[in-house]
């Protein structure tokens, strides 16, 4: 039987002059210095390279990913 793990990501606007969309929370935990991290598109590509697949969007700011457990 295949087992999965899930990652729920909340994104937010960084504000300021850049005002870009960036991941802010992963599975209920605030990402340290999230405003200085990658934008949501770079972040999603990083997750894809790690085997995560986007399986749902609940709003334009909440994303659900899954990958097979090893």
Query: Of all helices (H) and strands (E), which one includes residue 59?
Result: strand 53-59
Q: Could you tell me how many residues make up the chain?
A: 70
Neighbouring C-beta atoms of residue 6, cutoff 10 Å:
12
Say how many C-beta atoms besides its own lie within 10 A of residue 37's C-beta. 15
Interval 11-65: pLDDT, tens: 999 887 778 999 999 999 999 999 999 999 999 999 999 999 999 998 778 999 9
This prediction has a pTM of 0.86
What are the CA-CA distances from residue 39 to residues 18, 30, 49 (Å)? 11, 15, 16
pLDDT at residue number 56: 94
Mean per-residue pLDDT, 5-12: 96
Determine the pLDDT at residue 39. 93
């Amino acid at each position: 039987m295949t087992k999965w793990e899930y990652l729920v990501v909340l994104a937010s606007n960084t504000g300021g002059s850049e005002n870009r969309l960036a991941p802010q929370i992963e599975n209920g935990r605030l990402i340290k210095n999230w405003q200085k991290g990658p934008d949501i598109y770079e972040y999603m590509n990083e997750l894809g390279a790690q085997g995560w697949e986007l399986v749902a969007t609940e709003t334009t700011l909440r994303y659900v990913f899954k990958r097979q457990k090893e």
